[in-house]
Amino acid sequence: MKGSVIALGQIGGRDVAALMVDGVLQDLALEIDGLAPGAILRGTVGRPVKGLGGVFVDLPEGQTGFLRAPKGLAPGQAVLVQIAGVAEPGKALPLTLRLLFKSRYAIVTPEAPGLNVSRAIRDEDARADLTALATEAMAGADESLGLILRSVCEAASEDEIADDIAQMRALAEAVLADLEGKPELLVDAPGAHEQAWRDWGDVDTVDDSEDALDHTGALDQIEALARAEVQLEGGASMAIEATRALIAVDVNTGRDTSPAAGLKAGIAAARDLPRQLRLRGLGGMVVVDFAPVPKRDRHVVEQVLGKAFRADGGETSLAGWTPLGNFELTRRRDRVPLAEWLEGAEA
């Protein structure tokens, strides 16, 4: 199936959105119970933990978050925070003080002033028009409020963009003024279908029919993600397995026994690894055991890996090769693990 399609549906009674590009699953949005990344809350600063470089924050319904490297916060103080990722069972939710009020066209950024237009919009006339529109829409706002206009603005009408900015600005101003009180959820994270509309831009087709996940091929590919084995181009493969401490990735050449087999398998794995980790909702420390590659060729695999992760857009740090020939990297945990989500959907 050529082109881009957003398939909207449900698995186990919970909403799912799948982004398909030329028949390949590129992104997933899943309905999550409880507090999810992107939610904005009022919390109460708890005890500092010097050994971890942060403080615990009391959240609604007895939940706890962790705020790294805070400055000028005192125990008992009310604070506005946003959930920045997901936590392992029994651990505090990761929080940030850098709030983002995000919609389809606009992102309002408190404490990050300035009017910015997405770099993906390169037409100078369009950029000038959008800058003028943003200036008018943010006139009279607090100087601490910033604004980012997203790439999808290039194909939108001025009225749509202006309305979106006005709504996000009003929401930001209302939340920032609501600092007093007990821990409370102020802005919930978007649902799966809303997130797809908000973050995936313009696509060729939006399929919300009853069997959209099935006939677009998304359901089969989602189910395949529950398995460790991933088939790569050229007959190579990799296995991705989550352990308690790290994500282990093992790359194999398959039946190819040519001198360049290891390099070809490594390049194929490097290109697909960011997508696989994103779709599986895996993060933390990742150790990749590439098929044997001569040391003189390792830089090729590393360059492909770096380019792939830059295009992915997630927060990733490439640590490099270990003395044993593995490659280490870390990726922020910003999604619920798909395997856990599927188990919950089946329950």
Cβ count near 139 (within 10 Å): 7
Angle, CA of 176, 198 and 41, to the nearest 5°:
30
Give the pLDDT score at 76.
93
Residues 63, 113: one domain? no
Residues 308, 233: one domain? yes
**294 occurs within a structural domain:** yes
Contact indicator for 286, 319 with CB cutoff of 8 Å? no
**186 occurs within a structural domain:** no
The backbone torsions φ and ψ at residue 78, rounded to the nearest 5 degrees and listed phi first, read -75, 140
**187 occurs within a structural domain:** no
Strands 106-110 and 145-149 come out as antiparallel
Residues 247, 213: one domain? no
The backbone torsions φ and ψ at residue 231, rounded to the nearest 5 degrees and listed phi first, read -85, 135
pLDDT in tens, the chain (347 residues): 689 999 999 999 999 999 999 999 999 999 998 899 999 999 999 988 877 789 999 999 899 999 987 788 889 999 999 999 998 878 899 999 999 999 999 999 999 999 999 999 999 999 999 999 999 999 999 999 999 999 999 999 999 999 999 999 999 999 999 999 999 999 999 999 999 999 998 999 999 999 999 999 999 999 999 999 999 988 999 999 999 899 999 999 988 889 899 999 999 999 999 999 999 999 999 999 999 999 999 999 999 999 999 999 888 999 999 999 999 999 999 899 999 999 877 65
Tell me the residue range of the domain where 117 lies: 101-181
User: Can you say how many angstroms the Cα of residue 175 is from the centroid of all Cα atoms in its chain?
Assistant: 23
**192 occurs within a structural domain:** no
User: Can you say how many angstroms the Cα of residue 60 is from the centroid of all Cα atoms in its chain?
Assistant: 24
User: What's 83's domain CATH number?
Assistant: 2.40.50.140
Fill in the amino acid letter for 56. F
Residues 277, 301: one domain? yes
pLDDT tens digits, 86-117? 988 788 999 999 999 999 999 999 999 999 99
Residues 70, 53: one domain? yes
pLDDT > 90: percent of the chain: 86
Strands 205-207 and 229-231 come out as unpaired
Rounded Cα gap, residues 57 and 183, in angstroms: 9
**347 occurs within a structural domain:** no
Rounded Cα gap, residues 157 and 160, in angstroms: 5
Residues 312, 255: one domain? yes
**For residue 299, what are the contacts with CB-CB under 8 A and spacing of at least 6?**
none
Provide the H-helix boundaries in the chain.
Answer: 124-137, 158-176, 192-199, 212-215, 218-224, 261-280, 298-312, 338-346
The total of structural domains in the chain comes to 4
Give the pLDDT score at 284.
93
Residue-by-residue DSSP string for 163-215: HHHHHHHHHHHHHHT---SSSEEEEPPPPHHHHHHHHS---SEEE-STTHHHH
Residue-by-residue DSSP string for 113-170: -EEEE-TT---HHHHHHHHHHHHHHTTTS-TTEEEEE-GGGGGS-HHHHHHHHHHHHH
Residues 257, 204: one domain? no
**309 occurs within a structural domain:** yes
Give the pLDDT score at 64.
95
User: What's 278's domain CATH number?
Assistant: 3.40.630
Instruction: Indicate the SS3 state at residue 331.
Output: strand
Query: Tokens representing 2?
Result: 């050529």
